[in-house]
Structure 1
Amino acid sequence: MRRSAVLGGRYVLRSLIGQGGTAEVYCACDRVLEREVAVKLLRQASVEERDRARFADEARLLGRLSHPGLVTVLDAATSDEEPYLVMELVHGPSLADCCRGVALATTRVAAIGAQLAEALRYAHDNGIVHRDVKPANVLLAEDDRALLTDFGIARLLSASTGHTATGTAVGTAAYIAPEQVRGEPVSPATDVYSLGLVLLEALTGERAYDGSPAEAALARLTTPPPMPSTLPAGWRDLLLAMTALDPADRPTTVEAVDSLRRLAAETEPAKPGFTGRTDVGESPATRSTAGSLPGSAVVTAAAGQLRTTGLGAVSRPAGLARRAGLAWRWATAAVLALVLVLGVTLWSNTLSGRPPQRDTPAGVPDRVQKPLQDLHDAVEGDR
C-alpha cells in the first residue's frame, strides 16, 4: 500500500529525516496551523499488532508528559490504517552525530547531561522508565536545549503486563544496563546507568564497551566501564557511580542533576590522551527514532577487581563501594554466558541480515533451553 501524502487531511509529508527498525520520521507541514512538524509513522511492511500496541503506548505516554527536555507530542492517530504521531520538529543534530569519534568539552557534556537527567527525573516521577537512553535518542536544538526522544519501548513502573515478555532483554545493546541483560525488572536506576554510558561516550568519542555484542553483554555483568585516566576526578567518580553494577548503588536522577550542574560550572577541559574512532558510532537517526546496534567491549574482568585497559587505569573510589560483592554473580556465570553468547549472536545475525538459526544448538542443558528459546523469540519478534 502506498504511503499517503497527506495524513488526517492535515499533515503534508515532505522529506524523510530519520528511520528505525519499525518506524520512519518525516518533516511535514501542518496545513491548519501552518507550521513544520515531525511525523512518525510505522513502516507499512512491518506493521503487526504488537507494533501498533507499542506505538499507541508511546503516543499515550508522551501525551501525558510536558517538559522542556522531552520532545512534545502535538497530535496522534493510533487506530487509523496508517498510525502516526505528530511531534515538534527539532532543528539540530543528535548527540550521536556530534560525538562520533569526537570528544566534546566537559562543560558542554555536563550541561547536556544535567538537562537529560532532569528530563528523566520528570519521567520517573510520572512512573515511566525510558529503557532506551542512547546518543541517537538525544536531540540538540539550536537554542542549546537537549531533548530526549523515542519512548517507543518505555515502560510504566506500575504496569503488571506489557508487550515484552518478562525475562526478555529490551534496549540498545551498547547502552543496555546489566539488569536489562539479565531480563530483570527495570527501574529509574536503569536509565541512570544508560545515561552514564552516554555521557562517557560524549566525553571520549568512543563507546565504553567495544567488541562483539556477546563480549559487551558479558563484560557489563561483571565490570564497570573503563574510565580514561585523563578524565577529571569529578567525572570519573560520577560516571563510576552512575554505571555501578548494582542498581541500588547508583545515584538518583536528582543526585545526578546536582552533580552534573556542579561539573557544568567548572571550567576544566578534558585532557588529551584518548583516541576517537569513527568505526564505532551508529548511523545517524535524527529527530525521534533510531535502530538498535550491537554493543562493544574490550573489558577484562575478575571478581571484585578492576583491571587496566588501553583506555587507562580504572579505579573505584572508596565512597562508591558496592553494597554487595560480585561473587554471587559467578555462581550462575556458566548458564548466563551460554544464554547471552548464543542469544546475542542471534541478535547480531538479525542486524547483519544473516539468517538466524532457529534450532537450539546440540548439547545445551535442559534448564537453559527455555531461556534461550525465549531470547530467540524476542529477538526475532523485534525485527
Structure 2
Amino acid sequence: MIREAIKNGDIAEAQQKIDEFFQFIDDARNELYIQTGRTNRLTSQDLMGTISPEEKDRAMNKITIATLYCCHAIEKKLIDYFPSVNFKISSESLTDQLMMKHMGRYEQIQEKQKGGSAIFFRGKEVHTERKVMLRVLPDLNFGKEPQNTLIDERLQQVLKIKHRNIIKVLGADLSGFPYHLILEYIDGISLDHLIGRVPFTLSRSLSIFRELCEAVYHLHVNGIVHKKIKPDKVLIDNELRPIISPFDIVSSSKRQLSDSISSQNLMYEAPELLRGEAPGHDFQSDQFSLALLAFELMSGYPLFCQKRHAAAEPNVFEVFEARRKFFEAEDPAYRKKIIKKAGIPEAVTDILLKMLDRNPQQRYPSLLEAWEALEAIDIPQDPDVEKALASYERCCVANPNFTQDFYQDHLFKKPAIRTIFEEREKAREDREKTSQREKMLRIAIDTLIHHQTEPEKLRHILHINAHSGIDLDLYGDFIESIIKCIQEHDALWKSYNRRGSKNPVKQAWENIKVSAIKTIKEK
C-alpha cells in the first residue's frame, strides 16, 4: 500500500499512511499497557488471597483474549500496509490467529502436521463436536496474487465434490490472513507411510487402485485435474478406505524451479507435465501418476527408484536415469519385464503399461476405461491371508509407531531375541535402527503370510548361515509376539472380544501360525 503510493509518485498519501500506521501502533501500545496493568493487579490480588481461583481464571481469560486480539490486529495491519515484506509466521502465531478468527465456532485448535505448501491444524466444532482439519497457507501475499480469481473458481469446483474416497472441503476463508480451507477430518495415515511397513497383497493393492481410479475419475468428470497424485497425497482411514486430497489445486504459490526437478516429481509425474506440455492431456497425466502409485503398492518400491527404505531422499540423477532407461529402451518387452519382475500378473502389467505410455494419447481415453479393465481381472484370494494382513494394516493406521511398540513392548521382552538385536545393531544410529527394524518386520510379515506359496523363502530366512540362522523356538516367539501385539491394537479384534463372538481375525492368525510351523518342520 505505502510502496505503491511512493511508486506512483503520491508522496503525500504515502506519508499519511505511514502516520496512520504509527498512530495505530501507539493505540496498540496503550492497549497493551492496559492489559499489563490488569495482569499486575491480578497477580497482586492472587498473592494477597483476595480473589478466588474461579474469578482469577475468568479474569485471565479476558486478558488473554484481549492480548491475542491486539497481536492479531498488529499482524493484520502489518500485512495491509507492508504486503511485500516476507514475514515469517510461526505455527504458534497461526494457532492464535485461527482461534481469534473462529472464536465461538471452533475450539481445541492444534497444529497437526506441516506440509510443503501448508500447515494443517486440527479443531473441533463447538456446537456439534465434529472434528475438522484447517489447511492454512502461511503465505502473507496469497490474497494479493493475480491468480486469486482463478483459485476462487477452482475452489468453487472443489466445494461441489462429494465422493466417499475424496476429502470433503467444507468451506474456506481466503478473504484475509490466515488464508485457509476447512476440511473434513480423516482419522488415518498416509499411504506413503504404510507402503514401507505393510506388505499389501495383490488383491488389496488392486482394491485400493480401483477405488482411487474411481475417485480421480470423479474429479475429472467435475473438471478437476489433480496433477500431484502420489502416495503421500492418499490417506488410508480406520476402515481401510483410500481417500485422496483434492485441495492441492488451491495452492498459494507458483511451482518453484527446485520443486520441478525434485526426485519426488520425477518419480510420479507424467513426461508431458515435466516438459510443461500438459494442456490438452491433463486427465491422462493423472492416469500416468496413478499407475506409478499402483506399481509401488504392488511391489513395495517406486518404479524409478528401488530404494524406498533408504533414509535419504532418492538421488535425482538416479531417478532421472531410471526414467530415461525405462522409456527409451528400444525393445518394448523391456518395460514389461521390469514390471513383471515385481511379481505383477501379466493382465495387470498390460493395464499399467497402457497407463504409463509415454504418449498421453495412447493411454486410456479416461480412467473409467482403466477402472473397467481392472474390474475384469479376477485375483484369487486366501481368506486367512487377507484377514490377517487387514488386521496388521489397521494397527499401522491406528498407531503410526506400531512397529516400534511391537519391538519394545513385545519382541524385546524375549531376552534371547533382544540379545540378538543388540549385537547386530550396536554400530547403528537410532534413526538407522528404526528404519532397519521397519524393513525387517515388513519382510518377516510378508514371509510369514505367504509361507504356503513361497515356503523356500521362509526356510531360507530361518536356516541360512549368513544370517546365523533363527532357532525354531525363537521364530515361534516372534509369531506369538506379533499376534499378541495385533490383539492389543486391532480395533476389530477388540470388538469381537467385547461382544464375546467368534473372532475370524484371531482364527486366521492361528491358522497361519500352525501352517508356518508345519512348513518349517517339513524341510
User: TM-score with structure 2 length normalisation?
Assistant: 0.45
Confirm whether residue 235 of structure 1 aligns to residue 348 of structure 2.
yes
Alignment of 1:185-334 (within 5 A): 185=278, 186-210=281-305, 212-217=315-320, 219-220=322-323, 223-224=326-327, 226-229=338-341, 230-251=343-364, 252-263=366-377, 266-267=380-381
In 2, distance between residues paired with 1:24 and 1:92? Answer: 17
Bigger Cα Rg: 2
Give me the whole-angstrom Cα distance separating, in 1, the residues matched to 2:231 and 2:303: 13
**8 A contact 2:187–2:238 mirrored in 1:** yes
Q: What's the offset of the Cα at 1:47?
A: 5.2
Which of 164, 169, 193 is matched with 1:97 structurally? Answer: 193
TM superposition shift of 1:218:
5.5
Distance 1:133 1:258 in 2: 20
**For the structure 1 residues 132 and 107, does the alpha-carbon distance in structure 2 shift closer, same or farther, using more than 3 Å as the test?**
same
1:177 aligns with 2:270: yes
Closer/same/farther in 2, CA of residues 129 and 264 from structure 1, 3 Å limit: farther
CA-based RMSD? 3.2
CA distance in structure 2 between the partners assigned to 1:245 and 1:102 by the alignment? 30
**Deviation readout 1:90-137 (Å, 9 max, x if unpaired):** 111111111026541111111111111111111111111100001011
Measure the CA separation in 2 of the matches of 1:109 and 1:8: 40
Of Structure 1 and Structure 2, which has the larger fraction of its residues in helix? 2
Normalized per residue, the structure richer in strand is 1
Task: Label 1:57 to 1:228 Cα distance change in 2 as closer, same or farther (>3 A).
Answer: farther
How far residue 77 of structure 1 moved from its aligned partner, in angstroms, is: 0.6
In 2 relative to 1, CA 206–46 (structure 1 residues): closer, same or farther, beyond 3 Å? farther
2:274 counterpart letter in structure 1: V
- Kindly provide the amino acid, as one letter, of the partner of residue 213 in structure 2: A
Pair 154,196 (structure 1): closer, same or farther in 2 beyond 3 Å: farther
TM-score normalised according to structure 1 size: 0.61
Distance 1:139 1:103, change over 3 A: same
**Shift in CA distance, 51/192, structure 1 to aligned 2, threshold 3 Å:** farther
1:117-132 to 2 correspondences below 5 Å: 117-132=213-228
Counterpart secondary structure, 2:319 = helix
Task: Give the aligned residue type for 1:199.
Answer: A
CA contact (8 A) 2:288 2:355 kept: yes
Among the aligned pairs, what percent are the same residue? 25
Query: Residues 217 and 154 (structure 1 numbering): CA distance in 2 closer, same or farther, change over 3 Å?
Result: farther
Q: Which has the higher contact order (CA 8 A, sep 6+)?
A: 1
Q: Distance in 1 between matches of 2:250 and 2:297?
A: 23
